[in-house]
């Protein structure tokens, strides 16, 4: 069984995958989140494991269960996600499919916030979260050979995603249009464009599991 599990083009390779949303606390009972289900990251981790990779799956509170056959590290916040990724290194490849909250609440309360009767809502102050993809992409030593980011955009998808690839320093960006009319955010399908140093390649809209398999195969080719 062990030999069967380790067969495949990614046998002996370690791949880190981040997935799901992050939750950023406001107080002990409330948080800020986003609509990511974790479906694409989960499908990708499953596909990579299916090709024989040793996968560390760092996941925020997702609405789909993690795949079998991977090492699952559960986190809530972006800061915890960065810590978990750093703890999982070194890796041959890292794929950042998580929808990381861009901001955390700087003045999160230690106790449940109460209405004070004045009718004035509380003022939340935000601080920018660490950029996990950029941090790993720009590592001076021990950088994974292949670093892949996602770019969920609602307009000018290719322009924003191409700029994002250069700004963050990752090798590939998987771009997708998550504007509400596409129904992609939280759905079963995805339509992505793979952006590499060679240019942009649009893939037909299909199930997230098929997108994952295709991407996993490309990752295997790149690491071969
Ligand atoms: N990402 C990350 N850490 C963050 C923010 C984003 O690792 N704090 C990763 C995501 O997992 C994704 C990629 O960066 O792979 C792009 O995320 P996205 O939200 O599209 O990019 P941002 O740089 O946050 O830009 P934007 O202002 O468009 O949200
Ligand atoms: Ca963002």
Nearest ligand, CA 78: 1
Q: Is residue 65 part of a domain?
A: yes
In this prediction, residue 4 has a pLDDT band, given cuts at 50, 70 and 90, of low
Ligand 1 shell residues, CB under 6 Å: 18, 78, 96, 98, 100, 102, 129-133, 149-152, 164
The per-residue pLDDT for range 16-61, each reduced to its tens digit, is 999 999 999 999 999 999 988 999 999 999 999 999 999 999 999 9
In this prediction, residue 219 has a pLDDT band, given cuts at 50, 70 and 90, of very high
The CA 152 to ligand 1 mean position distance, Å, reads: 8
Q: Is residue 213 part of a domain?
A: yes
The CA 98 to ligand 2 mean position distance, Å, reads: 10
Pure H helices in the chain: 2-6, 39-50, 78-88, 132-137, 157-168, 208-223
Q: Is residue 116 part of a domain?
A: no
Q: Please, are residues 143 and 165 in contact by the beta-carbon 8 Å criterion? A: no
- We report the CATH number of the domain holding residue 26 as 3.40.50.10300
Q: Is residue 113 part of a domain?
A: no
186, pLDDT greater than 80: no
The CA 102 to ligand 2 mean position distance, Å, reads: 5
> What ipTM was reported for this prediction?
0.99
Let me know if 34 is a catalytic residue: yes
β-pair partners for 104? 127
Q: Using CA atoms, how far apart are residues 22 and 20, in angstroms rounded to an integer?
A: 7
Rounded to a whole number, what is the largest CA-CA distance in the chain?
66
Torsion, Cα of 128, 130, 131, 133 (10° steps): -160
Report the residue among 20, 58, 80, 164 best suited for mutation to probe ligand 1: largest number of ligand atoms under 8 A from its CB.
164
For residue 177, what are the domain limits? 2-107+122-223
Specify the pLDDT at position 155.
93
Q: Is residue 173 part of a domain?
A: yes
Q: Is residue 114 part of a domain?
A: no
Q: Is residue 151 part of a domain?
A: yes
Check the annotation: does 198 bind a ligand: no
Nearest CA to ligand 1 atom 26: 102
Domains: count for the chain: 1
Averaged pLDDT, 62-80: 97
Q: Is 215 exposed, middle or buried (0-12, 13-18, 19+ CB in 10 A)?
A: buried
Q: Is residue 102 part of a domain?
A: yes
- For the chain, the average pLDDT equals 95
């Amino acid at each position: 069984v062990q030999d069967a599990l380790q067969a495949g083009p990614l046998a002996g390779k370690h791949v880190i995958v981040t997935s799901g949303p992050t939750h950023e606390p406001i107080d002990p009972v409330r948080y800020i989140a986003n609509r990511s289900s974790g479906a694409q990251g989960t499908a990708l981790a499953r596909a990579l494991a299916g090709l024989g990779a040793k996968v560390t799956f760092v996941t925020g509170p997702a609405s789909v269960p993690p795949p079998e056959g991977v090492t699952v590290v559960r986190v809530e916040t972006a800061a915890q996600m960065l810590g978990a990724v750093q703890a999982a290194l070194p890796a041959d490849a890292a794929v950042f499919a998580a929808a990381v909250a861009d901001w955390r609440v700087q003045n999160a309360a230690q106790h449940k916030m109460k209405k004070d009767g004045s009718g004035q809502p509380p003022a939340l102050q935000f601080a920018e979260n660490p950029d996990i993809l950029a941090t790993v992409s720009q590592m001076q030593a021990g950088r994974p050979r292949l670093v892949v980011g996602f770019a969920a955009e609602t307009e000018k998808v290719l322009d924003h995603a191409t700029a994002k690839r250069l700004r963050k320093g990752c090798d590939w960006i998987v771009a997708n249009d998550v504007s509400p009319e596409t129904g992609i955010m939280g759905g079963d399908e995805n339509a992505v464009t793979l952006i590499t140093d060679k240019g942009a390649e649009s893939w037909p809209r299909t199930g997230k599991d098929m997108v994952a398999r295709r991407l996993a195969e490309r990752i295997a080719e790149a690491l071969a």
